[in-house]
Amino acid sequence: MHFSVTSVMKAFAPGSVTAVFAPTESGDESRGASMAIEDGLVADVRAADRTDVVLDGERTEFEPVENLLDELGVTARVELDADVPIGCGFGASGAATLATALSANERYELGRSHDELVQLSHLAEVEAGTGLGDVFIQSAGGLLMDDGRGKRRWEPADIVEYVSYGGMSTSEALGDDELMSRVQTVGRRILTSFPENPSLERVTRDAWAFARELELPTSRVRDTVLEVEAEGGTASMAMLGETVFAVGIDGVLPNSTQISHEGAHLL
């Protein structure tokens, strides 16, 4: 098959932090409360005879990106530049896949719609076991909530601070039926308890209750949340990573970002 090829085209997708989630009955999607953040990932797709993925200068296996390119019917060299830690609860795999989709679509003039690219990215993530809906938040931007009664989106102006101590295996967690059953029960209860337009502080506080009830926080996460609370802020754990995000503080945690209102886009 012949594709026309444009000049080098990059795309950006924001990272995302999921505060609370609950898998749907089908298991291939998730409801929850999540935010897109301005720290994210850039993909630069270039024509190549075989598919290679390069992350921050190092060649790597990146299954959802490779799945996506296969579905689009192209081979390419994908150079990824990440501003967020990989595998630590920032939706980096979703951001990489979505940014790659936007870049490849433009690079090869594939003519796919934005919504179609988002859906293909989501399916590539589900197939790889790396996410259950991060790309929808990363496409829309803002703070997105879906409690089963319809999606709501708003644009908080809060500064979000964060620190990451490492990753957790998303694929292992999503494949743990007992854990996911508990997540579904607790997550649904928390999500339906939120008011119509909760503050980011309220979402974060209830997210911490969610994480603790599921016994997910490590000792480092717990200690950091206590440190934030001692400074008058509110903190919780990103799903799924050994990562703390917080609001209502200034300079307590080493990284600072804001809610990305724009969502994924070409550069």
pLDDT tens sequence across 56-68: 999 999 999 999 9
Between helices 63-72 and 92-107, what is the axis angle to 10°? 30
Average the pLDDT over 52-81 and give the result. 96
Question: Mean pLDDT, the chain, as a whole number?
Answer: 92
* Distance, CA of 126 to chain centre: 13
**Is the per-residue pLDDT at 3 higher than 90?**
no
**Residue 1: what pLDDT?**
45
Closest CA to 184 of 3, 7, 20, 4: 20
**210-235 pLDDT, tens digit each:** 999 999 999 999 999 999 999 999 99
What's the whole-model pTM score? 0.91
Per DSSP bridges, beta strands 52-55 and 58-60 are antiparallel
List of domains in the chain:
1-267 (3.30.230.120)
